[in-house]
Chains A and B, each alone.
Chain A
Amino acid sequence: MNIVVVGLSHKTAPVEIREKVAFAPTEMEAPLRRMLALPAISEAVIVSTCNRVELYAASRTPESAIIELKKFLAEQHRLLAEQLTPHLYDYEGEDAIRHVLRVAASLDSMVIGEPQILGQIKTAYGYATEFKTAGVILNRFLHKAFSVAKRVRTETAIASSAVSVSFAAVELARKIFDTLDDKTVMLIGAGEMCELAAKHFVNNGVKKVMVTNRTFARAEKLAAEFDGGIPVSFENFREQLHRVDIVLSSTGAPDYVLESKKVKEIIKARRYKPMFLIDIAVPRDIDPLANKLDGIYLYDVDDLQGVVQANLKEREKEAAKAEKIIDGEIVQFQKWMSSLEVKPTIVGLRRKLDEVRKAEVEKTLSNLNGLGKKEQKAIEAMANAIVNKILHHPTNILKQSQEGSGGDIYIDAVRTLFDLPENTNDQQDVAEELDDK
């Protein structure tokens, strides 16, 4: 059994192609069933997001599976194969496993470490289980992908730093203030980015938002968007500033709205309680000299962008750690995969029962003194016969399961019920042993 991936992503296809290939979440049943019906495919999952469309399949004949899947994807969306194929990538075996683990762990995302992709794969897997197109292999595989993604998230700092300007502002504030719950934010002007940042602050605990604008009506309107938002007139917002911990400024004013001298008065009135000033306006609203004042932390748009860039670099570093985690997990998963082969399972099962038989025969014979050669032979023969009889039917079922789809479930069950090891080396020995016979 092999895992096969066919798909395209933001890295290989422009949005014009991606939107044509996307699957609507409301009608996943028909495509999933059609995909499962393909001759080379025994299990099917379809992942469709705005950045990628991928088909995951389990197959005994990966080469033909890839051809069928490519054809399926083109036909499904009424595209010409020539049109689609240049954008498609395909993986099988170890490469396929690695690819899916990387995607789930958000290493293949446009913004490395973004958390949505995991949820999207979970949803896709949800459809596959709902319509029963995922079998024992993809079930196990996707659960593996989820747990690997979780490991990457907890064991590396891949998603720990902000990669958007407004999140970066919140993160910086957390390095200045121990809590945001009792802090006050003031919005000066009505820039969209400021509004977004203010919302992030509110989501992170800020309760009080003051809004000021040259046009008071606009300040009122924006203030109404926040719980407990307070409009402040532009003429005397400076008199309120000593009560404000975080300032978000983005007016269209050509000059400084806040002079360094004024900021100095304010911070003094605050007894040097730290103040975080974020100036997103261009030209700038706040005199950059203010950053030199004790207790004032002033960030302009470039500063925030710089933080974001640094964080992105940091994520790339962390991604290298994540790749190592994935390497280890691939080895583990392949061990399990190879244990799903029929031959070694049959041999393993026989070996297990033979061990039991030998041990029990020995025990019985050593307890029964004075038996003749003939009697001993008879007991051994009986034990042999029992093992063979017991094994006969399961062996046949396992052999037959090789042909149809869904036979892996028996193999997995036998392995679990009889506690057969997953060790690959052992498997090889067993396979050789089988050939000898």
Chain B
Amino acid sequence: MSILPLLFNATLLIYLVASVLYLVAMIGKQTQAGKAGRWVLVAGVVLHAASFGVRHSTAGGTPVTTLHESLSFFAWCLVLLYLLLDLRFRLSVMGAFAAPVAFLLMVGSAFSPDMVVQLNPMLRSWLFPVHIAFAFLGNAAFALSFGAGVMYLIQDRMLKSKRFNGIYQLLPSLDTLDKVNYTCLSVGFPLMTLGIISGAVWANTVWGTYWSWDPKETWALITWFLYAGLLHGRLTVGWRGRRAAIYAIIGFMFLLFTYLGVNLLLGGQHTFDAFTKL
């Protein structure tokens, strides 16, 4: 049992170290620190995965039922997707966004009560982990597109105003940021779609209905339409750059509300209590 807190704390610490390295790389212009940060993050994602493995065997099911686990899983998805993105674009500046966010998620997780909950037997289905994995990976992809969107706006602002600060040297080109934004969107959208579909199918096996207009479902649908709109705008109308960046930022605000706001404020079937009580 004591292995769990150990793994968790080690992961937390590793994400902190990676954050510091990435921030040093960004602020102090030390590219070496960025490279080190990448490897630290790789170690973190492996360790983190191990902690979920252990949790899985203790809980006897998908260990994403409490806020503690949920935030932690989000952090893991974020780091994993960032590392994959980094393979393609080599963006250590994004690391300075992803690693600290992952770290903060872990801190949030550490402050939420941690208990290994036995999943309500009714909810045990192979669809549950599938639903969770798609939804969270989708969230992580959108979080990264949010990060790229913010960077795009900063870079755009600097290029337009002709006033450059330290970050400028490190930010990649507008084109690259736009591509990252688009890549994240085109990865995140199918994941989100699959997350919603798998959730609906699963709901049908548990409650006998695909869709019950529970607040989470409603907000997820709103967010889904927003992102669908952005993807459509990009593909057919030719939206890009600033407009797409702003859109991605707004989309992520909605997503955040769907993810956290609904659970904490609105209740429904997706609250963490509901997983165990039902």
Contacts and interface: CB of A to CB of B under 8 A. Distances in A.
A105 to B, nearest CB: 18
Given A299-B162, A307-B164, A176 B173 contact: yes
Contact of A274 (B168, B179, B241): B241
A310 B179 CA distance: 29
B225 to A, nearest CB: 23
B20 to A, nearest CB: 20
A218 to B, nearest CB: 31
A175 B168 contact: yes
A297 B175 CA distance: 13
A260 to B, nearest CB: 14
B174 interface: yes
Interface in A271-288: 271-274
A107 B64 CA distance: 58
B169 A271 contact: no
Nearest to B165: A310
B162 A274 contact: no
A429 interface: no
Contact of B164 (A179, A294, A310): A310
A175 to B, nearest CB: 5
A294 B161 CA distance: 13
Contacts of B159: 172, 175-176, 297
Contacts of A177: 173-175
Contacts of B175: 176-179, 274
B246 to A, nearest CB: 10
B173 A175 contact: yes
A306 interface: yes
Contacts of A291: 160
Contacts of A306: 162
B243 A294 contact: yes
Given A157-B169, A175-B155, A176-B159, A272 B238 contact: yes
A174 interface: yes
Interface in B207-250: 238-243
B268 interface: no
A160 interface: yes
Contacts of B171: 175
B129 to A, nearest CB: 37
A255 interface: no
A272 B166 CA distance: 27
B29 A176 contact: no
Interface residues of A, number: 24
Nearest to A310: B164
A303 B155 contact: no
Nearest to B179: A178
Contacts of B112: none
A406 interface: no
B173 A272 contact: no
Interface in B7-56: 29
Contacts of B239: 272
A191 interface: no
Given A176-B174, A177-B173, A178-B172, A272 B162 contact: no
Nearest to B168: A175
B162 A271 contact: no
Contacts, number: 52
Contacts of B172: 178
Contacts of A307: 162, 164
A115 interface: no
Nearest to B237: A271
Interface residues of B, number: 21
B174 A175 contact: yes
A244 to B, nearest CB: 16
B277 to A, nearest CB: 51
A179 B172 CA distance: 11
B262 to A, nearest CB: 34
B241 A294 contact: yes
A320 B238 CA distance: 47
Contacts of B125: none
Interface in B130-171: 155, 159-160, 162, 164, 168-169, 171
Contact of B242 (A157, A273, A294): A294
B162 A303 contact: yes
A93 interface: no
Contacts of A274: 174-175, 241
B176 interface: yes
A337 B20 CA distance: 41
Nearest to A306: B162
A175 B162 CA distance: 12
Interface in A36-72: none
A66 to B, nearest CB: 41
A174 B162 contact: no
B165 to A, nearest CB: 10
A178 B173 contact: yes
Contacts of B169: 157, 160-161
Interface in A344-399: none
A279 B239 CA distance: 27
Given A157-B29, A274-B174, A297 B240 contact: no
B146 to A, nearest CB: 20
A31 interface: no
A295 B173 contact: no
A272 B171 CA distance: 21
B12 to A, nearest CB: 32
B124 to A, nearest CB: 47
B242 A295 contact: yes
Given A157-B29, A297-B160, A271 B240 contact: yes
B95 to A, nearest CB: 18
B51 to A, nearest CB: 37
B192 to A, nearest CB: 26
Nearest to A179: B175
Interface string A287-313: 000011011010100010011001000
A160 B179 CA distance: 25
17 contacts: A157-B169, A174-B173, A175-B159, A176-B175, A177-B173, A177-B174, A178-B179, A179-B175, A271-B238, A272-B238, A272-B239, A272-B243, A274-B241, A291-B160, A297-B159, A306-B162, A310-B164
**Closest A-B pairs by Cβ, 5 of them:** A271-B238, A178-B175, A178-B176, A178-B173, A303-B162
Interface of A: 157, 160-161, 172, 174-179, 271-274, 291-292, 294-295, 297, 299, 303, 306-307, 310
Interface of B: 29, 155, 159-160, 162, 164, 168-169, 171-176, 179, 238-243
